[in-house]
Chain A
Amino acid sequence: MSIEDITITEPYKILFFTYEGVNDQGFPYTTSYEVYPSYKSIDGSWVNTSENMFNEDDIKSLISQHKLDWTESVTTDYKAFVDSQVLTNPSLEQQIDEILASL
């Protein structure tokens, strides 16, 4: 699957997708991205945008900026959520615990 095969029919406020590829050394890897309204890779890096809504071109542009090789075998898993992150975010207690563990 190439990047052109990705179809995003509606702008998403929150978007998760997973990319599975093979790195330069031939090792397979999986990485996940979150878009709300910016996106970040699981290594913690972020790319910011000034838009709150994303369309297909936006997503492709973001992916391109991140230099992902979409010519590799790819699986995608899209999931759109409602406006509030409350439904998807850890509870405040969990976030506090996460912070404590990180300090």
Chain B
Amino acid sequence: MATKESWGSRVGLVLAMAGNAVGLGNFLRFPVQAVNNGGGAFIIPYLVSFLVMGIPLLWIEWSMGRFGGKFGHHSTPFIFDSLDKRRFWKYFGVFGIWTNLAVAAYYCYIESWTMSYVIHSLARSFSGLTQLQVANFFRDYVDINTTTTGIPYEAVIFYILCLLLNTWILSRGLSGGIEKTAKIGMPLLILFGFFLALRGLTLGTSGATPTHPDANAWAGINFLWNPQFDSLANPKVWLAAAGQIFFTLSVGMGTIHCYAAYVNQKHDIALNAMSAGWMNEFVEVVLGSLIVIPIAAGYLGLDWVKANAGFGMAFQTMPYLFENWGPFFATMGGVFWFGLLFFAGITSSLAMGTPWMGFMQDEFKWSRNKSAWSFGTVVLILGLPTVFLFNYGVFDEYDYWAGTVSLVVFALAESVLFAWIFGMDKGWDAITSGADMKVPTTYRFIIKYITPVFLLFVFIGSVFSPLNGDWAGAISSLMNGNGWVLDNGSLIKQVMSTGLREQIHAATDAAQRAVLEQRLFYISAARVLLALIFAGICGLVYIAYKQRKLEGRIS
């Protein structure tokens, strides 16, 4: 079956690619990472990571995608396969499908919260609630045994509605579905973001109350931007900054390859990649830094923000803060905030559907409709455990393996494949061919040497992360012959679930112990499920490879 997909316009492609990158993390993860890693100093390693790791990876992935598209490949297994004679690369490419299925499973769940919270904002569900009640509203929402609206299984219903919407848009195709959504979603997201950022910037001390007399939005902005140069010597800050660049640009996932595979060989990718990448940075650095932290510091004070900064603020705190704006503006604030998060989420989750669809269409001749609905079905099967077992840590387990570890492994493999196996001569041609901008030649050196080394450090840093991220202390302990004490967040300890096992061991109450053991069981089951999906995709790649061999379609 011929592949008829193509992008409708260059602006549409750039907006879709920017939408792929702009996600919930731009507004929720970036400011929290900055607060937890030295405030203003964080921006320096963050921008350095963008220049030496983010931009090179964008160019690598765009050029790999367009190169693979020449041979009719729209997903990473056979895009990787086309870059080297050795056949094992296609199994590294499996990460580029698996990651998206697993991440979409829990990402669509967060997206469904934003859908639901837009409706709750319009319905004024948070009116008159205390801060604790708003926080409990969210806790009840994700607890499927309770309901916030009287609708049983509200969280499940919204999750399925969200998945149906994603699947329907995907079934409309690249230009008819994804591109149209990006053309509507991205401008609206920026508009909503401007409104909220303006409020964050102008709030000042007007939100101070007798309960929070020190509340000051500018103190929040000051903390975010005040450069503390001494923290630049801390590897923990650099690793956090590099990690944020990964998440924010959606590199190491396989989505960029897939979108770029539908770009004509004569067309530019260098400028497109820059435009989409910088647009993401604008949303993150300019808008993302001026919303959550300043507004929260403006009503609750900086000390509260430092103690409570985290993902939950978006749903557990922001609706309460908007209520300070009066009924009309509180509704508007809620709709804008959760609407913004919804558009950020859906433009990313749609991108996660395309590698699977491209693979099934290319290799098994499935129609667009069939491949879109099969994506929805697989994500539903994978996602329901995150919904029903949210409080047992299944959601976090998916996020750790698929949304964190997998990205680094995949990016490291692709940077080595591109720069060292495919070769920088051919790689440079792939990047600069048809380019509408002059690509700085220093990037030839950066892509070949700096980016893989940088990625290797990020990987090693996550495998051997020392206790409390104290690298200086760990190195000195090692030098003194006292060994290297790993943090429970390190990859090695995560594999062994050390933190949870320690909690089980320390539990004195039998009921508490039983809950923790149940949590360990569900986490292990989630790992098995993820591993089975990975093995299943490897199996499909193997079948497709055999089929290609039979038909003489191996490039």
Are A and B subunits of one complex?
Answer: no
